[in-house]
Amino acid sequence: MTGITHLTFDCYGTLIDWESGILAAVQPLLTRHGVSAAAEAILQRFVRHEARLEMQSWRPYREVLRAVMVALSADFHHSLPDRENDVLAESLPTWPPFPDTLPALQKLSKHFPLTILSNTDDSLFAQTQKRLNIEFAHVITAQQLKSYKPGQAHFHEALRRLGVPPSQILHVAQSLYHDHVPAKRLGLRSAWVTRPSRLPATGLAPEARVTADVIVPNLATLATHLTS
C-alpha cells in the first residue's frame, strides 16, 4: 500500500449497513400485509432487481428503489398500496453506519483526502452524510453522472477531480461487482472490506471475480493498516 495518497469509498454496504436498513424497512411492511418472507429471500430479490434496473436507461435512484419495491412485492405475489412503494427511499436516511465506520473515517481523514463514489442521488446521500458526520473532499453520485456502477463513470470522474495517477488511489468497497471490477480496470488499487452479510457468497450484489490488492474484515483494520 505504499504510494497511496487518496482514498475513495463506496458508501452503502461499505460504510452503511444497508442490509439491516433494507430489512428494517421492508420486512415489517410485508408482514403487515400478511406476507411472510425470509431476510435472505428479500435481499436476493433486491440484488436481482436493483442490478437489472440500473442497467436500463437512466432514472434517479429514488425511482430505482421504488421500482425495486414494486418488483420485490410482486415476487411474493402481493401489490402494495402506491404510497408504500417508496418505503426504501424514505427509509434510506435511517440506514445505520457499521459500528467501526465513524471512528475509522475520522482516523483516515487525518492522513488522506476522502472521496465518496455512490450509486445514489445527491439528496439521499446528503442525509446519510449527516450520520457519517464527516466532510468528504468530493462526493460523486450516480445522479451527477447519469450512470450507475459497475459502469466506469464514477472512477473516470474521480481521476479527473483528484488529478493523480490511478495507482495513488485506493478504492475501498464491499461489492466486488459494483466497485472492484471497474476500479481495477482503470488501474486503481482496491481494498475489499468483507463486511458480514446474510448473502455470504457475494454480499448484496451479483457475483463477480476480481482480485483486490488488500482484503480486510472491516474499516477499523484498514485504518490501522494505512496509518500505522
Where residue 77 sits, what CATH number does that domain have?
A: 1.10.150.750
The verdict on 24 and 81 lying in the same domain is: yes
Domain that holds residue 136: 6-17+96-227
The verdict on 65 and 165 lying in the same domain is: no
Any idea which residue has 463477480 for its cell?
208
Active site residues: 10
Separation CA 8–CA 71 (nearest Å): 32
Mean pLDDT of 80-84: 93
Instruction: Evaluate if residue 201 carries a pLDDT over 90.
Output: no
The verdict on 137 and 198 lying in the same domain is: yes
The domain tally of the chain equals: 2
CB 66 within 8 A of CB 85: yes
Instruction: Evaluate if residue 206 carries a pLDDT over 90.
Output: yes
Backbone angles phi, psi at 115, to 5 degrees: -130, 140
Q: Which amino acid is residue 50, in one-letter code?
A: E
Confidence of residue 102 (pLDDT cuts 50, 70, 90): very high
pLDDT of residue 20: 98
